[in-house]
């Protein structure tokens, strides 16, 4: 959509639903062999406006036949195909008559299973390499000769199966791209899905459109229309409860549900006291006055602060905050209820990576055993059972933003920086107190206010302040001070998996520093974190 392991334990049955049947007659399946890029392949396919799904490499040929995808992609992976216990696909997939593209490990598996030979390469190849094209047609149409592709392999194909030919090579890899044109089986030793591969998207488009003959049916408008129909059909006249956080996921979900079922939706916002300055009040006012979606505001600040009193371990903080959230949610849902359905802002990466839902053996309905709230911690009691409504569970974050825009969500929410579930509680290192919360709230406000004034808010993935539990000596007004330092954390990232510190203009840093030490009582020093992820993390706790 110009919208998109056991890490790979999912089966087609758990992922296929009526919405997919309607929208995804044009579908590409990615079989995951443990690659860090499997999800990225799916996103790249969706950028071509064709639906894609990540399934386990254990998915059988018969299951694939029933799904009837237009194409299959075999992901990369950390194994060697000749190792004992290496993950193998069902060998019958080569006989389905469905085009297949093997990427890195996927290509080597194709070669091995079809009678070729894969061995340890004389020279491993990692990073950028120039692709020298031998056949510029079909898969490599519009891929420039000598273009940069991203390599990551220690094995190499030494002999190709009967019927295959070489499409491209590199200085170190004689078979960098291969094909059996008659059977529509293709392989590439590099990773076309990563941004470092200059013509990678062109290659993917060739496979999707020219080889698999897909049409661009995965659009925002089609998704919204079909989602509304499905929500109405599923919910009927029943009531739905949504835990609202104010982030793009829950806000988009609230808009979508309200369009579908109106007053049958109840939004609950639990103010745990760890939000940013004036954010809870602004959120409730925005939804009520501008969006005309009522929100049940639950003030619970004192309860949450009491739970973390004296706690310094970050994991214990998260556990206590999550546990208290569950208690408050349970109490308030009973007060406002009864409800038949719980709406969750589950996204597709959650579906791929999580196993936090069960299926009711009697009804076959998925039931909640873990709240996917803005806390992302803890779980609902098993005896508090709802049927789930998860309209966003097939979308990536960038697709959610596009859906949000299409249904009228304002940019201030659509492009809101990610915010951790436990909020400011994990941006205060060590013990959380009311005093420290107030200090951090004010410092964080200065950061966001200043980058907004400079027109730079959207230049960062995240920009925030951290309070350290130490004090340093300073001089203010000819007097000695002994106050807290504030750490500035401004980073750039595409997906939060990796991140780099932002090269911020010195003038901006100076302005933020001056404002914090002058406007925020209790702070006399500001420092800048220049650690990337890895080795660091985005958050400090």
Secondary structure of 88-152 in the HEC alphabet? CCCHHHHHCCCCEEEECHHHHHHHHHCCCEEEEEEEEEEEEEECEECCCCHHHCCCCCCCEEEEE
pLDDT at 360: 43
Q: What is the pLDDT of residues 245-256, one digit of tens each?
A: 888 899 999 999
Within 13 A of 76's CA, how many CA atoms are on the CB side? 22
Neighbouring residues of 269: CB distance < 8 A, sequence distance ≥ 6? 243, 244, 245, 246, 280, 283, 284, 295, 296, 297, 298
Average of pLDDT values for 229-242? Answer: 93
Contact 186, 144 (CB under 8 A): no
- Can you tell me the distance from the alpha carbon of 444 to that of 427, in angstroms, rounded to the nearest whole number? 10
pLDDT-derived band of residue 402, with 50, 70 and 90 as boundaries? very high
pLDDT at 410: 87
Query: Is pLDDT above 60 for 389?
Result: yes
**Residue, of 56 and 360, whose pLDDT is higher:** 56
Place of tokens 């969706």: 46
pLDDT at 210: 95
Query: Is pLDDT above 80 for 361?
Result: no
**Neighbouring-strand partners of residue 485:** 525
Contact 123, 172 (CB under 8 A): yes
Query: Is pLDDT above 80 for 364?
Result: no
Query: Is pLDDT above 80 for 520?
Result: yes
Percent of the chain with pLDDT over 70: 88
Contact 287, 267 (CB under 8 A): yes
**DSSP E strand boundaries for 263-334:** 265-271, 295-299
Query: Is pLDDT above 90 for 180?
Result: yes
- Model's pTM, two decimal places? 0.74
Query: Is pLDDT above 50 for 400?
Result: yes
Query: Is pLDDT above 90 for 83?
Result: no
**DSSP E strand boundaries for 313-389:** 341-343, 357-359, 366-368, 387-389
**Residue, of 476 and 169, whose pLDDT is higher:** 169
- Can you tell me the distance from the alpha carbon of 258 to that of 404, in angstroms, rounded to the nearest whole number? 13
Residues acting as catalytic residues: 104, 191, 193
Q: What is the pLDDT of residues 258-268, one digit of tens each?
A: 999 999 999 99
pLDDT at 365: 47
Tokens of 439: 């200090």
pLDDT at 2: 43
């Amino acid at each position: 959509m110009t919208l998109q392991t056991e890490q790979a334990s999912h089966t087609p049955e758990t992922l296929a639903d009526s919405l997919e049947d309607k929208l995804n007659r044009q579908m590409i399946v990615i079989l995951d062999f443990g690659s860090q890029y499997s999800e990225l392949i799916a996103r790249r396919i969706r950028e071509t406006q064709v639906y894609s799904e990540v399934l386990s490499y254990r998915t059988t040929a018969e299951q694939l036949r029933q799904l009837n995808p237009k194409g299959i992609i075999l992901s990369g992976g950390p194994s060697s195909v000749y190792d004992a216990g290496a993950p193998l696909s069902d060998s019958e997939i080569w006989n389905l008559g469905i085009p297949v593209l093997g990427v890195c490990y996927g290509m080597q598996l194709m070669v091995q299973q079809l009678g070729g030979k894969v061995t340890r390469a004389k020279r491993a190849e990692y990073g950028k390499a120039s692709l020298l094209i031998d056949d510029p047609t079909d898969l490599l149409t519009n891929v420039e000769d000598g273009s940069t592709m991203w390599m990551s392999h220690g094995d190499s194909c030494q002999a190709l199966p009967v019927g295959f030919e070489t499409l491209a090579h590199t200085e170190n890899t004689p078979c960098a791209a291969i094909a059996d044109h008659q059977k529509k089986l293709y392989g590439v030793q590099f990773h076309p899905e990563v941004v470092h591969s200059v013509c990678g998207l062109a290659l993917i488009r060739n496979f999707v459109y020219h080889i698999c003959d897909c049409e661009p049916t995965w659009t925002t408008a089609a998704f919204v229309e079909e989602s509304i129909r499905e929500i109405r059909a599923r919910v009927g006249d029943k009531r739905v409860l949504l835990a609202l956080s104010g982030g793009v996921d829950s806000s988009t979900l609230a808009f979508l549900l309200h369009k579908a079922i109106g007053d049958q939706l109840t939004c609950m916002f639990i103010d745990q006291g760890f939000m940013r300055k004036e954010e809870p009040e602004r959120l409730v006012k925005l939804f009520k006055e501008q969006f005309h979606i009522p929100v049940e505001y639950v003030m619970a600040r004192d309860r949450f602060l009491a739970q973390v009193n004296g706690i310094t371990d970050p994991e214990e903080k998260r556990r206590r905050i999550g546990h208290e959230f569950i208690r408050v949610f349970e109490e308030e849902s009973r007060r406002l209820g009864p409800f038949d359905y719980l709406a969750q802002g589950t996204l597709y990466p959650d579906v791929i990576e999580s196993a936090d839902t069960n299926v009711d053996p009697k009804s076959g309905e998925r039931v909640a055993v873990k709240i996917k709230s803005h806390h992302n911690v803890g779980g609902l009691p098993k005896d508090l059972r709802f049927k789930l409504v998860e309209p966003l569970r097939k979308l990536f974050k960038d697709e959610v933003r596009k859906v949000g825009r299409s249904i009228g969500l304002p940019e201030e929410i659509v492009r809101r920086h990610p915010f951790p579930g436990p909020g400011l509680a994990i941006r205060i290192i060590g013990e959380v107190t009311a005093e420290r919360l107030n200090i951090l709230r004010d410092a964080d406000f200065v950061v966001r206010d200043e980058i907004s004034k400079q027109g730079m808010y959207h230049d960062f993935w995240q920009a925030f302040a951290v309070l350290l539990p130490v004090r340093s000596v300073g001089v203010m007004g000819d007097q000695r001070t002994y106050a807290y330092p504030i750490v500035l954390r401004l980073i750039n990232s595409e997906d939060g998996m990796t991140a780099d510190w932002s090269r911020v203009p010195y003038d901006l840093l100076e302005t933020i520093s001056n404002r914090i030490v002058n406007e925020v009582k209790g702070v006399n020093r500001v420092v800048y974190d220049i650690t990337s992820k890895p080795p660091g993390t985005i958050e400090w706790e």
